[in-house]
């Protein structure tokens, strides 16, 4: 049967269809998505707590996406919160939050959180996840689909961050409050295009010293971000102690070892964005 794969390339396959990022599976450091990205991954997508009685269950995939029918049947008319977001890389680098008040939301009063018609993880102040990751040294690449109501809200909104070094950041990809740009600081700084409040983006942060890159829907800015690593056991969607979180929705968070070429970043961003109405030329 002929069909187009995740990058729009016609292929002929027999049997099980490949997942959209199978070709990049070996490069993953960690991968979180409400879409099944790697066909070799057979585990659940998320572990959910329902507000009614705080019961927990794992929710998997159906048709390549989060099984929202099972999710809503479990949560009911209440709200559902993600306790664990499972890593699809096969490396077991799941992110977890056991404190109820710090868990981000996947169902709000019986309605699945979403943007672009696809599930998304929503959160606000003090809501983040811990990890047991090893240090992520440079070069490395981080991709995310985000929709934030206010890209200049409060303090800088951290995507991944550990304890501060002398620079005050230690290799942090974030949204800069001063001007609403995706930015990277690892001893020096580089920032991309200004983001429009309420709009959704496929963003990229390439940590590669003087050749670091910020990508915004396939448009790139190169600069010197410094050489610091993301230290071991970072928090995700906020800094340590839950400070400066991502105030909005995240659909995908992918972390790669190595600096991906811009052509590959564009291809992956397009694959992630096309299902959410994000245009990546």
pLDDT, residue 235, reads 92
Residue 266 and residue 204: Cα distance in Å, rounded? 9
> Which residues have a Cβ under 8 Å from the Cβ of 63 and sit 6 or more positions away?
none
Q: What is the residue whose two structure tokens read 């397009």?
A: 270
Q: CB neighbours (10 Å) of residue 229? A: 17
Collapsing DSSP to helix, strand or coil, 264 comes out as: helix
pLDDT, residue 239, reads 72
Domain membership flag for residue 126: yes
Model pTM greater than 0.85?
Answer: yes
What domain range includes position 245?
21-274
Domain membership flag for residue 207: yes
Domain membership flag for residue 6: no
Domain membership flag for residue 44: yes
Query: 54-90 b/e with 16+ CB inside 10 Å = b?
Result: eeebebebeeeebbbeebbebbeeebbbbbbbbbbbb
pLDDT, residue 162, reads 79
Residue 75 and residue 55: Cα distance in Å, rounded? 9
pLDDT, residue 134, reads 95
Query: Which of 202, 170, 174, 201 has the alpha carbon at shortest distance from 186?
Result: 170
Number of domains comprising the chain:
1
For 89-125, the pLDDT digits (tens) are 999 999 999 999 999 999 999 999 999 999 999 998 8
- CATH code of the domain in which 185 resides: 2.60.120.200
Q: What is the DSSP string of 10-35?
A: EEE--SSPPPTTGGGGGGEEEEEESB
Domain membership flag for residue 3: no
Domain membership flag for residue 2: no
Strand partners, 2: 12
Alpha helix ranges (H) inside the chain: 68-75, 262-274
Domain membership flag for residue 7: no
Domain membership flag for residue 12: no
> What tens-digit pLDDT sequence spans the chain (281 residues)?
333 333 343 333 444 578 999 999 999 999 999 999 999 999 999 999 999 999 999 999 999 999 999 999 999 999 999 999 999 999 999 999 999 999 999 999 999 999 999 999 999 888 999 999 999 999 999 999 999 999 998 788 999 987 654 445 556 899 999 999 999 999 899 999 999 999 999 999 999 999 999 999 999 999 999 999 998 999 999 876 555 789 999 999 999 999 999 999 999 999 999 999 999 99
């Amino acid at each position: 049967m002929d069909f187009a794969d995740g990058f729009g390339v016609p292929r002929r396959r027999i049997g099980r269809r490949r997942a959209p990022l199978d070709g990049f599976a070996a490069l993953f450091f960690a991968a979180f998505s409400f879409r099944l990205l790697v066909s070799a991954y057979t585990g659940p997508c998320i572990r959910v707590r329902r507000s009614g009685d705080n019961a927990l269950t794992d929710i998997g995939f159906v048709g390549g996406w989060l099984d929202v029918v099972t999710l809503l049947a479990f949560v009911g008319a209440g709200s559902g919160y993600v306790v664990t977001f499972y890593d699809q890389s096969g490396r077991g680098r799941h992110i977890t939050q056991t404190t109820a008040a710090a868990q981000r939301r996947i169902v709000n009063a019986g309605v699945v959180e979403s943007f672009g018609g696809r599930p998304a993880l929503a959160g606000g102040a003090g809501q983040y996840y811990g990890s047991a990751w090893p240090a992520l040294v440079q070069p490395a690449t981080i991709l995310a689909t985000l929709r934030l109501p206010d890209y200049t809200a409060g303090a800088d909104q951290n995507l991944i961050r550990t304890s501060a070094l002398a620079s005050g950041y230690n290799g942090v990809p974030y949204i800069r409050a001063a001007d609403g740009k995706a930015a990277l600081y690892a001893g020096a700084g580089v920032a991309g295009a200004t983001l429009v409040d309420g709009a959704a983006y496929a963003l990229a942060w390439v940590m590669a010293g003087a050749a670091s890159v910020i990508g915004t829907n396939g448009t790139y800015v190169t600069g010197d971000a410094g050489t610091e690593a993301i230290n071991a056991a970072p928090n995700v969607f906020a800094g340590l102690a839950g400070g400066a979180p991502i105030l909005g929705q995240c659909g995908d968070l992918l972390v790669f070892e190595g600096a991906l070429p811009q052509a590959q970043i564009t291809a992956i961003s397009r694959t992630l964005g096309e299902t959410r109405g994000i245009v990546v030329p």
